[in-house]
Amino acid sequence: MAVITDAICSLCGSLCDDITVTVEDNVITDVERACILGRNKFVGMFLHDRIESPMIRKNGELVDVSYEEAIDEAAKILVNSKRTLSYGWCSTSCEAISKAIQLAEETGSLIDSTANVCHGPSALAVQEKGGPSATLGVVKNRADVMIFWGCNPAHAHPRHMRRYSSFSKGFFTQKGRKDRKMIVIDVRKTDTAKIADQYVEIDQGSDYLLVTALRSAINGHEDVIPDTVAGVSKEDILKLANTLKEAKFTCVFYGMGVTQSRSKYKNGDGVSSLISDLNQHSKAVMIGMRGHYNVTGYGQVSTWETGYPMAVDFTRGAPYYNPGETGANDVLTRGDVDAAIISAADAGAHFPQDSLKYLAKIPVIQIDPYANPTTELSDVVFPAAVVGVEAEGTAYRMDGISLRMKKLIDTKFKTDEEIVVDLINKVRELKRGA
């Protein structure tokens, strides 16, 4: 029996790095300190529906084939495609992401990450207005006011509040929760809202209006604020603005309520402007609540490899970036790609119906440890090792801190990185022969 301490949980963007894992006969039998998501990741993996063999769809059914046959078939799809969509790469290591980008360049593909359906608009907002941020360590030690805007960490990042935010105890916040004012802005009273000091319920889709009203109040233009904005009374808006101005250090954690609601990237743009305004009075930062454990890492790797954080199109031979045109869902709904490779993410579960109808029409290659809705739409399937459990690698936490994931158990499966390298080699071989 081996007990591994300080293991990293590779599930959500919190990347908790204090997990203790017990391994017996190459099986994880116990895990300490993980939340329900992390526990199911580590211990549950022996119960989940593992893809056991490479598969190719023949006469409508996926049938087991050799690894070499699957690599041949996948490489043929990629070489024969005029424009492939490469999507996902966020539940894997930075090393695999780097190779995926190389494969996209080699095949003239368009490559996008799960940010397309998550914090993509935040990246656009940061490009427009900047993203004044901090590490979660700084927030833990200093923040006396925290806003959770359109996010629900009680469900999506269950240990976030204890490790980094509301309940954590830091150098200047030694009383933990008592030293912090916790504000939740949302459209429904979530479990996070229930434990907040102040819950501000807004009309769905009116985040931008509230940001604008708060900015008006903070910048001394109370007179332009109507009696009610976004379903919130002027009195409450002025009180909230005052709380923020008088705070020593504010952190706005924001989630899908901000990025997916009406106004999309303009909401994040507004929050960024609000943070700039607040920094005239006190100290304030913003941090996006990232979902996939290494979606932040994807943005880092893609930016240093191509100059852009996501939605990069190599069709022209050089990186081209224009979300709205080159996002994964943009090209699928327009029918602008003729093949897809999906890995370390599940488009089948998380893309709207029009995108999935199109995926069902084109050849799809999947690389994943587990069977999921994408498998149902796939034509070539590769089983992969679970990165962060069966393979080591680098991942970036939601605040941009890089952490090294350990290998906890042995596996018979190849890693995403190894599979992609095999695909690159086979594609080059086919192209040379052509």
Site for another protein in 279-338 (CB under 8 A): 291, 311, 323-324, 326-330, 333
Do residues 192 and 254 lie in contact, with contact meaning Cβ atoms separated by under 8 Å? no
Can residue 155 be called a binding residue for another protein (CB under 8 A)? yes
Binding residue (CB under 8 A) for another protein from 88, 120, 299, 393: 120
Contacts 24+ apart (CB under 8 A), 312-318: 312/101, 312/104, 312/110, 312/111, 312/112, 313/110, 314/104, 314/105, 314/107, 314/108, 314/109, 314/110, 314/111, 315/83, 315/108, 315/109, 315/110, 317/108
Residues numbered 185-214 forming contacts with another protein, rule: CB under 8 A: 187-190, 193-194, 201, 204-205
Binding residue (CB under 8 A) for another protein from 264, 406, 414, 426: 264
Can residue 371 be called a binding residue for another protein (CB under 8 A)? yes
Q: Going by DSSP bridges, is the β-strand pair 283-288/27-32 parallel, antiparallel, or unpaired?
A: unpaired
Strand partners, 382: 367
The CB-of-175 to another protein minimum distance in angstroms stands at 27
Can residue 384 be called a binding residue for another protein (CB under 8 A)? no
Q: How many residues bind another protein (CB under 8 A)?
A: 71
Residues numbered 88-117 forming contacts with another protein, rule: CB under 8 A: 112, 116-117
Q: Please give the DSSP secondary-structure letter assigned to residue 407.
A: P
Can residue 369 be called a binding residue for another protein (CB under 8 A)? yes
- Those residues whose C-beta lies under 8 Å from the C-beta of residue 47, and which sit 6 or more positions away, are none
Binding residue (CB under 8 A) for another protein from 280, 352, 425, 429: 352
Span interacting with another protein, options 182-190, 275-283, 397-405, 406-414, rule CB under 8 A: 182-190
Can residue 349 be called a binding residue for another protein (CB under 8 A)? yes
User: Measured from the CB atom, is 53 or 260 closer to another protein?
Assistant: 260
User: Measured from the CB atom, is 223 or 353 closer to another protein?
Assistant: 353
The rounded distance, in Å, linking the Cα atoms of 87 and 73 is: 19
Binding residue (CB under 8 A) for another protein from 152, 250, 302, 366: 152
The rounded distance, in Å, linking the Cα atoms of 264 and 269 is: 9
Q: Please give the DSSP secondary-structure letter assigned to residue 55.
A: E
Q: Going by DSSP bridges, is the β-strand pair 84-88/110-113 parallel, antiparallel, or unpaired?
A: parallel
Can residue 124 be called a binding residue for another protein (CB under 8 A)? yes
Can residue 53 be called a binding residue for another protein (CB under 8 A)? no
Can residue 244 be called a binding residue for another protein (CB under 8 A)? no
User: Measured from the CB atom, is 44 or 170 closer to another protein?
Assistant: 44
Can residue 353 be called a binding residue for another protein (CB under 8 A)? yes
The rounded distance, in Å, linking the Cα atoms of 199 and 51 is: 44
